[in-house]
Amino acid sequence: MTVSNFAFVKAALPELHALASKAERTMDSAPLVTLQYLQLMGQWFVTAILMHEDLAPGSAEPMARLETLLRNEIVPERWSAVLKRLEYMDTRESELLLDPAIGKRELFEMYDFTCWYYKTYIDDEYEPSPAYVSSQSLCISSMESTEVRREHAQSQIGINGQHFEAQWERHIGNGHRIETAEGESYQGDWHNGMKQGTGVYRWSDGTKYTGQWSRDVEHGFGEKQYANGDTYRGEWREGLFYGKGTYQWNDGAEYVGQWEDNMEHGYGVKTLRDGAVHRGLWVYGELVVREDQLAGGRDKMTGSANG
């Protein structure tokens, strides 16, 4: 890329510009590295906003800082979702299952967030360029000519933000079945070049998701069967486990309960491979209150009332 989308912050925010430029350069060749740079950008924003708002998180840990920011409801919900997705990103799965289009999508979300931050805290008269502002754009080719020869229009199709030479096999209601030379396929509802509605996506490594989609990511109810043998069945929000769901590991362990941002959060029951059972309240992947402690607290309250 010869032109940086983030050039407008170079003078005022050089550290942020350096991270953004690295994210842009690695977007096509190393999407995981792109997400790691975007995660660092998110942490930079959290720290900067807390300083602007004169808030002390009480800890230097990125998660604690983010929680302070979210608890005070300083940024709009859209940007809160972006920051959470990046901070809670599970790199263990990303190495194997990462869709390159995710990096592009998150990069454009971060561009829009950068524009919001710049206008809010640096220059309230700043107006973003219409050419870059839309988070609907899934590739930076929006900077290039959009003229396409007619004979190619029917042979090129986008899946997860990438363009492939593909064949429309058949119409299925309002959707289609698409297969690529890379061994991936999607069968289901499609709207404005993105998966929308209900559909089945199969990755080349054998991972399969069946369920609801919104704006090209898992959203609603669905089941994902991972290549390593793990399975999640339940509710999703913006591509992450969120709400009620069941995760079964390939070693026989299982968690049934509440989720938030791909982590156990709320009441749930985890059964380990050796048969041990852990019940109680979970906070972002950690069991913080066991069920027997909850029961003990209720007994004390009952005893006090009877006394």
Q: Among 136, 168, 197, where does a domain finish?
A: 136
Domain assignment present for 167: no
Q: Which residues touch 35 (CB under 8 Å, ≥6 apart)?
A: 86, 89, 94, 98, 102, 103, 106
* Domain span holding position 49: 1-136
Task: Supply 288's token pair.
Answer: 């913080």
Same domain, 71 and 185: no
How many whole angstroms separate alpha carbon 22 and alpha carbon 59? 28
Report the range out of 1-10, 128-137, 174-183, 262-271 with the highest average pLDDT: 262-271
> What total of structural domains would you count in the chain?
2
Same domain, 45 and 111: yes
Domain assignment present for 158: no
* pTM beyond 0.85, yes or no: no
How many Å separate Cα 75 from the centre of its chain?
A: 17
Domain assignment present for 224: yes
> How far separated are the first and last CA of the chain, in Å rounded?
74
Same domain, 132 and 182: no
Same domain, 123 and 183: no
Domain assignment present for 159: no
Domain assignment present for 160: no
Task: Supply 13's token pair.
Answer: 């925010």
Mind listing the pLDDT tens digit for each residue in 98-144? 566 777 788 888 888 999 999 999 999 988 764 343 333 333 333 33
Q: Among 104, 136, 168, where does a domain finish?
A: 136
